[in-house]
Amino acid sequence: MSRAIDWRRATFVSGMLVLTLTVFYANFAARDIMFGDGGELSLAAATNGVAHPPGYPLWIVLGHLFSLLPIGSVPFRINMSAVIYQAITVGLVFLSAYVLTRRYVASVTAALLLATNELFVTWSLQAEVFSLNDVFAAALVLLSLLVLDDGKRWRLVVPIAALFGLGLANQQTLVLLAPLAAWAFVCRRDAIPREPATAAVFVVSGVVLVLGFCLPYIHTWLASQRELGWSFGQARTLHELVDVILRRAYGTATLVNGPIAGGSMIVRVYTMLTGVGVVVLLASAEFVVLVHRRRYDLAGAVALIFFGTVVVFCAMANNDASIAAVRDLFLRFALLPLVALAPFAAPVLALRRVPAIAVLSVVLVFGAHSALGASLATVADARTLDRDEFAALPRGAVAFVKGDSIATTAPYFQIVEGWRPDVLLVFVDLLPGRSYVEQLRRSLIVPKTSGPPTLTDIVAANPNRHFFGIGDPEVQGEINGDGGPFVAYTCGLASEIVTRRTFIPLSNWYRTEVFRLRAPKYGELSGRTIPFAAVARAYYANSYFNAGIDAERLRGYDSARTWFALALTEVPDSPTIIQAFVHLNELSSA
């Protein structure tokens, strides 16, 4: 029979872990807006608005409260939410490991294996919905293990239901842990009384789950009644709210749509396992031990976690994880199996006390080194990129913005920090939304079409406005590729959209490029390997490459070589740039 749980001592150790890691992560947390969904989520939190489907209302409400804290900048306050959520997650994982082993050293080691995981540390330092999802996942695993530990705790079905309801209002992947909770009650069904009062408890649990899920979405509906021209998930009506919850813009049963969809499930599984790291190896070893000891209840728990959060998710997710930029997007979802499996690393470490202490020492040293390497305290790449993008736009410009991972930071700087209020940002990905188009018509002529208005439709309807594209090069590709009356020419980080018959002397255009690209601090990125930074570097490489092409046309071969070299520093081993070098050498030697 297992020893009784010393809750007083265990919660003290858990609390110390939470407190220590909060201080530790806070020292390395981002002080500024980061790439990815962080820009859009921080904007929604700062303005108490709405995020992209499924809306993430619980995260936004809590994020708004964090934005009001009297510490540091607004981005830092919101980033601190991730710090606290992930620190709490580690504390909960320790408790789960302790429930499994009743060993403190092994449980602390398992918790710190999670706390020092590179993926976990990365998303402990910047705002994202995944950090709050980790708290719910860790809490659900803990309560499920408590039920498996003693079936007399079956009344935990009520808080489990509450966690599922609230958690699903934050991140819907949490549903992948539902089989674990169900398994716990199935395994301990003999301890559940067969009487009317029991049925009442389960009915109450169902009501609690529904209310926990629905109540946060009242915020989504109320926030949508305000003018939110930047909103990526506005829902003014019940029908629109259902569309947001079901993620119909992306495909309810899929993760993404468009060119990044597709790829191999095997690649997705491999990518996810690389994110989980050593934890999956230890959990797998524990699974083998449990089967050998005929502890099929706990072995089933491990199997269900792995099957749901890895196999099922990778089967449903449709990201092409072989694309480098998509890999950063996809890897975030590995946090769920990482957190859920982490407690099962403890029993293996508890087999021998001395190795556990040795492993703990190694983990502490590695953790300090890992955190120093992952520090985001001095990173301001999003601010640099958007500063250079806005600098390329003349007064009164209309800028088409596209690209989830990068472009969503621009509205944050404009709305929250007041950058360039004279510029009208048009979010290409929102054009299919009727409410967004209606609001856009107050500032721009948007023709009525049978489908979503195209960029060419909008430009043609506003001949007196000056249009540009910033962010994803697809904006330039859409204008140039439809064979219409307009063409987009890249100059720096912006593509100017003009009629095809417009004549612009190449020498004048090149002088403008040089002026922009040689502006003080242009392109001064941190050089850090952070999520989505490769996309930003590709944008800068494109600006240098285009300047090199124009210099080559003007027979300024030395200048062209300089620009191509700068492009290669941003995107090493680019076949396009290397081929341009080869062609340039042929021209200069002819």
Task: Kindly report, residue by residue over 518-546, the tens digit of the pLDDT.
Answer: 998 998 888 777 777 888 888 899 899 99
Domain end position, chosen among 457, 473, 500: 500
**Which pLDDT value is given to residue 407?**
74
Residue 238 within a domain? yes
Cα 389–chain centre separation = 22
Residue 359, pLDDT > 80, answer no
User: Mean pLDDT throughout 480-505?
Assistant: 83
Distance CA 192, CA 175 (A): 24
User: Mean pLDDT throughout 67-72?
Assistant: 93
User: Mean pLDDT throughout 320-341?
Assistant: 87
Distance CA 28, CA 350 (A): 31
Residue 362, pLDDT > 90, answer no
**Which pLDDT value is given to residue 430?**
79
SS3 for 202-222, per residue? HHHHHHHHHHHHHHHHHHHHH
Task: Kindly report, residue by residue over 146-185, the tens digit of the pLDDT.
Answer: 999 999 999 999 999 999 999 999 999 999 999 999 999 9
Report yes or no: 339 and 137 within 8 Å, Cβ to Cβ: yes
298/395 same-domain check: no
What radius of gyration, in Å, describes the C-alpha atoms of the chain?
Answer: 26
What DSSP string runs through 99-155?
HHH--HHHHHHHHHHHHT-HHHHHTTSS--HHHHHHHHHHHHHHHHHHHHH-GGGGG
Q: Domain of 534: which CATH number?
A: 1.25.40
- Report the largest interatomic distance among the alpha carbons of the chain, rounded to a whole angstrom: 93
Tokens encoding 15: 């609390």
Domain span at residue 477 reads 390-402+418-500
**Which pLDDT value is given to residue 354?**
47
Other beta carbons within 10 Å of 507? 11
Q: What is the pTM of this model?
A: 0.91
Amino acid at 383: R
520/483 same-domain check: no
**Which pLDDT value is given to residue 1?**
39
**Which pLDDT value is given to residue 352?**
61
488/507 same-domain check: no
120/262 same-domain check: yes
215/103 same-domain check: yes
Distance CA 346, CA 484 (A): 63
Residue 304 within a domain? yes
Residue 225 within a domain? yes
Residue 319 in 3-state DSSP? strand
Place 474 in a pLDDT band, splitting at 50, 70 and 90.
low
483/508 same-domain check: no
Amino acid at 293: R
Locus of tokens 């003014």:
236
Task: Kindly report, residue by residue over 231-257, the tens digit of the pLDDT.
Answer: 666 777 888 888 888 877 666 666 666
Report which of 513, 508, 497 is spatially closest to residue 388, judged by C-alpha positions.
513
Residue 353, pLDDT > 60, answer no
Amino acid at 104: Y
Residue 411 within a domain? no
Domain end position, chosen among 500, 517, 536: 500
